[in-house]
Every structure is written in structure tokens, then in C-alpha cells.
Amino acid sequence: MMPRRTSAAALCVAGALVLAACGRGSTDTSSTPTTSVPSGKVTGTVTVWAQGAEAEQLPALVKGFEKANPGVKVEVTAVPWANAHSKYQTAVAGGTTPDVAMMGTTWMPDFANAFQAVPSGVDTSDMFAGSKSTNVVKGATLGVPWYVDTRVIYYRTDLAKKAGYPTPPKTFAEFKAMTKALQTEAGAKWGVNLAPGGADSFQFAMPFAWSAGASLMNADGTKWTFDTPRMAAGLKYYQSFFTDGIADPRLSTATGGMEAAFVNGTTPVFVGSPAEISLLDAAGGTGFDKKYGIMTIPKDRSSTSFTGGGNLVVFKKSANSGAAWKLVQYLSKPSVQADWYKATGDLPSVRSAWDDPSLTADPKLAVFRKQLADTKAPPANTAWTQVGAAADTQLEKIVNGTDPASALKTLQSDADSIGTGD
């Protein structure tokens, strides 16, 4: 199991969409310099900014890097999540950035003009493709996945068995049938917890839209693609949980409410991140981990979920970029990634790190590994925050009965007016 703590960074999938609302300057990456990673030992000071529990644990982890490079000193500065975006914004404007920083996946376009391109000496071939995509802005790769995050389905296995589902459903149709059966056969008030609207609610519907074959933009990222049959099909499926009385259209957003409803069986299914494991351990108490399971997003045309997490970037203003990239390279080693998981519970971005016994021992984690092989991220442009807010508005209307095709025409018009960012 994961260590019993909840990292604010582990909730980046949910929170970064809001935090990314702050503006920035041009994202022109054409002049981004590329450095090489030194083959030998490095020296000097490397400054690192990190947030949350990662900032607390990183000083211990980098001791191995310092031991391998006796002439180097890594200085870690903890930056509170609440003001991290504004602090980076101020540092970029003032030319006072650190060498290396932990960057939320949806923040990458906000500061792209300040990042160095990743040099060829940093090997990302063994990293999850979806997570790597969060580092690409206008064709330039500007960061490296440090840890990863995705959404999966949590469900009460004991109640599912009572409802006639001893094994997890695999398809859209099977998943909906199970959630309905949990109401009719297992006594659940609601079959599944789904966001009915509000800030960032559209992201909860995105895995179902992606799995139905939809895309948010065209292949070259020049046009929004909301008004399409596949997007309408995915959101029609999402809507059906509300119109059929399976999901609560007046869902409470009280802290801990979702976990409490899951533990008491009122709502025995929800879509969640890895951080939920520790929250459920705390809410359910000893032995509750035997009463629930995790499964991937149900399949229609695919089984695609949302990817998030934290990336590592090196700033153009770095005074020691060679050592900075050497540190990024070190933090990407499979053994170091496994040690990082043991310290923080952050899921490794390097696939081979998942072969460590600390990760293979928990069958629930195997589901996350499987899901991470099929993930997507929001578009890496500065318009997404505004477009996402418009999508939230239309999702709420869809939940309340508006025809998805009609709502998507409105959303397409809104998105076209907003544009695709600078």
C-alpha cells in the first residue's frame, strides 16, 4: 500500500486546472537553448524548488546524488502549493528562477518560454507516453515526468458481488449495468459518484469522452474539436447516469463526503486518483482495504483516462544547467524512482521502476500501472483554463437535461471565440 499520507501534488490532476488560470507571457519556444548532460561528475550548487510533501522528502533523496558527485550541493526550497504559481510567475519575470523546479503538468504552457529544452542525454524512452506528452509545448519537449497520476474506478467489491458482479466490468455497458445493480440488488442509494457540474467538473467526464473516441483538439493543436459525434456520444453516456437516476445530480462537495459515502455503501463507486487509497484507509479503518477494488476506466473504443502528476524542468536562467540536468537524470533512474515511491507514495514515471517489490506487492497498484498505459492530458496551451471553464458550464447543463449535441455546439462556438492561446 501507499504510505498513509495525502500529497497535494498527488491531487494535481484535480487542482492544477484551477491554478493554471494565472496568465503569462509568450510561449515562443523557438529560442530555447539545449544543453548536454555531463558524462562525468558535476560540481557547484543546484537550486531546486518543490511543493508539498515532495519538498519535505527531497532533501533526503538527493543525498545519493551528492554522494555520487562530491563537489555538488543541492539546495531545496519548499514552496507552498497555495502561492506556488505566483511565485514562479514572479521569479520568471524577475530572472530569479531556480535551476530545477517541480512543475504541475497543466502549468507547463504557463512558463514554457522560461524552460530549457530537454537534452538528448536525458533518456525518457521508458516513461509513460501520456505523461511525457504533458511536457511538450508547441512541439518542444521542455520537461521530464517525475511522478505520475491518473484516474481509475474505485468500487466496493463486496457490494458488487452481492449485485452479481464478482469480477469488474470491462465495457461501458457492463459498467453502467453494475452501477444500476448496486442500487437494485445491493442497497446503494446511488450507483456511482460523478461530478454534476462546478469548477473542474468537465475533467471527470473527459475519460468517458476520450474512451468514446473523442479528442479535445485536432492533431496539430490548431482547432478545438468539441462539436463531434464521438464527443457527443461520450457525454451522452455520462449524462445517462443522471437521467437514469444512478448518479446524484445534487452531489455534496463537502471534504471527506465522497469517502464517507463509499465506506458506508451509500455510493459505492467513484472515479479517483492514487491519493484516495490513503484516504480510504483512514476513513474505513482496519480491514476495509479488503472490501474494495480498483479497475480501469471502462472501455468503449478505448479505456483512456486523465493523466497528471509532476514534471521536472530546468530554467533557461540556470547558473549550473549541466549539474541541473544531471540531477534530473539521477531522479529518473528506476531505483531512485522506487525509493521516491517508498518515501512519498508518488507513482513512478519510469515503467521499469514498477518492477520493484514495493510496487508489485500491492495488486491495486497494478491497476494504476495498466491505466497509465492509456492516458491523455488537456492541451498544452494557455487557453485551456478558459475553455475548460466554458466546458464546465456546458457539462452542468448536460447533466440537467440539455442535449449533449446542442451543448457541444455552444461549447465549440465559445472555444473558437477564446482561441488556442498564444
Residue from 314, 419, 257, 251 nearest 98 by CA: 314
- Residue 4 counted as domain residue: no
- Residue 226 counted as domain residue: yes
pLDDT at 2 over 90: no
Residues 246, 395, single domain; the answer is: yes
- Residue 405 counted as domain residue: yes
Question: Average pLDDT in the 304-326 region?
Answer: 97
Supply 254's cell numbers: 463537502
Which tens digit of pLDDT belongs to each residue from 75-126? 999 999 999 999 999 999 999 999 999 999 989 999 999 999 999 889 999 9
Q: Per-residue confidence at 36, pLDDT binned at 50, 70, 90?
A: confident
Question: Average pLDDT in the 368-378 region?
Answer: 97
Q: With helix as H, strand as E and coil as C, how does the chain read?
A: CCCCCCCCHHHHHHHHHHHCCCCCCCCCCCCCCECCCCCCCCCEEEEEEEEHHHHHHHHHHCHHHHHHCCCEEEEEEEECHHHHHHHHHHHHHHCCCCCEEEEEHHHHHHHHHHECECCCCCCCCCECHHHHHCCEECCEECCEEEEEEECEEEEEHHHHHHCCCCCCCCEHHHHHHHHHHHHHCCCCCCCEECCCCCCCCHHHHHHHHHHCCCCCECCCCCCECCCCHHHHHHHHHHHHHHHCCCECCCCCCCCCHHHHHHHCCCCCEEEECCCHHHHHHHHHCCCHHHCEEEECCCECCCCCEEEEEEEEEEECCCCCHHHHHHHHHHHCCHHHHHHHHHHHCCEECEHHHHHCHHHHCCHHHHHHHHHHCCEECCCCCCCHHHHHHHHHHHHHHHHCCCCHHHHHHHHHHHHHHHCCCC
Residues 350, 372, single domain; the answer is: yes
Residues 223, 239, single domain; the answer is: yes
Residues 82, 112, single domain; the answer is: yes
Residue 59, amino acid? P
- Residue 94 counted as domain residue: yes
What is the structure's pLDDT at 74?
Answer: 99
Which tens digit of pLDDT belongs to each residue from 190-238? 999 999 999 999 999 999 999 999 999 999 999 999 999 999 999 999 9
Q: To which residue does cell 480501469 refer?
A: 296
Residues 85, 95, single domain; the answer is: yes
Residues 208, 349, single domain; the answer is: no
Say if CB 317 and CB 97 are below 8 A apart: yes
Say if CB 69 and CB 42 are below 8 A apart: yes
What is the structure's pLDDT at 252?
Answer: 82
- Residue 51 counted as domain residue: yes
Spatial CB neighbours of 10, under 8 Å, sequence gap ≥ 6: 149, 273, 274, 275, 345, 346
pTM of the model: 0.90
Residues 199, 253, single domain; the answer is: yes
What is the structure's pLDDT at 253?
Answer: 81
- Residue 15 counted as domain residue: no
- Residue 10 counted as domain residue: no
Tell me the percentage of the chain whose pLDDT exceeds 90: 89
Residues 175, 289, single domain; the answer is: yes
Task: In whole angstroms, give the CA distance from residue 62 to residue 42.
Answer: 14
Which tens digit of pLDDT belongs to each residue from 40-67? 999 999 999 999 999 999 999 999 999 9
What is the structure's pLDDT at 33?
Answer: 56
pLDDT at 319 over 90: yes
Report the chain's mean pLDDT, rounded to a whole number.
Answer: 92
Supply 278's cell numbers: 490513503
Count of the separate structural domains present in the chain: 2
Pairing, β 144-150 against β 347-348: antiparallel
Residue 89 belongs to domain with CATH number: 3.40.190.10
What is the structure's pLDDT at 25?
Answer: 38
Residues 267, 393, single domain; the answer is: yes
Q: To which residue does cell 456546458 refer?
A: 394
**Which of the pair, 64 or 14, is modelled with greater confidence?**
64
Residues 198, 329, single domain; the answer is: no
- Residue 203 counted as domain residue: yes
Which tens digit of pLDDT belongs to each residue from 143-182? 999 999 999 999 999 999 999 999 999 999 999 999 999 9
Q: Per-residue confidence at 34, pLDDT binned at 50, 70, 90?
A: low
Q: Per-residue confidence at 251, pLDDT binned at 50, 70, 90?
A: confident
Residues 89, 329, 29, 381: is their CA dihedral positive or negative? Answer: negative
Q: Which domain holds residue 324?
A: 44-150+308-376
Q: Per-residue confidence at 35, pLDDT binned at 50, 70, 90?
A: low
Residues 82, 108, single domain; the answer is: yes
Residues 287, 413, single domain; the answer is: yes
